[in-house]
Amino acid sequence: MGSKGHRLLVKFNGNPPVEEGAIEEFRAASKFHLPEEYLSFLRQTNGGEGSVGEGGAYAIFWKLEELNELNDAYQVEEFAPGLFLFGSNGGGEAFAFDGRNEPGRIVKVPFVGMELDSVRLIAPNFDEFLEELSRPVRSQ
């Protein structure tokens, strides 16, 4: 995650950085390969929640050590194979890496009715995902 990404997280309530040993443990225990941009993010903040950017969207990012457990709990492999959830918008939609085609693509999918037909692309990678979330939220 570049300095731009760090700037976008000024209002974000992040957890302490993940330790390198935890990343190695995750790699050994998980079938999913996390993109390097996301690992860079975890090395700065191991998940957290808050607004991204000035007036941007609200986001909840799960801790590294919760990822496999939560993906199992939501039965992602059964309902949306190829996706790997890593957080949510706090309003019923999960953020996920889409491992089916291009590794690192970020999509959102509803928690209820989770299926591949309901997947919507947000960004091609994690840094652009943060940029997308940082855009001012328009009131309806």
pLDDT over 90 for what percent of the chain?
A: 74
What's residue 85's pLDDT? 97
Q: Is the pLDDT of residue 124 over 80?
A: yes
Pairwise CA distance, residues 10 & 50, whole Å: 9
Question: pLDDT for 46-102, tens place per residue?
Answer: 999 998 887 788 999 999 999 999 999 999 999 999 999 999 999 999 999 999 987
Domains and their CATH numbers in the chain: 3-134 (3.40.1580.10)
- For residue 3, pLDDT over 90 is answered with no
pLDDT band at 2 (very low <50, low <70, confident <90, very high): very low
- Is the confidence at residue 1, as pLDDT, over 60? no
Task: Give the predicted TM-score (pTM) of the model.
Answer: 0.90
Cβ 94 vs Cβ 87: under 8 Å: yes
φ and ψ at 67, to 5 degrees?
-60, -55
- Higher-pLDDT residue of 12 and 125 is 125
DSSP letters spanning 83-115: EEEEEE-SSSEEEEEE-SSSTTEEEEEESTT--
Buried b (16+ CB within 10 A) or exposed e, 22-42: ebeebeeeeebebbebbbebb
| Residue 15: predicted pLDDT | 94
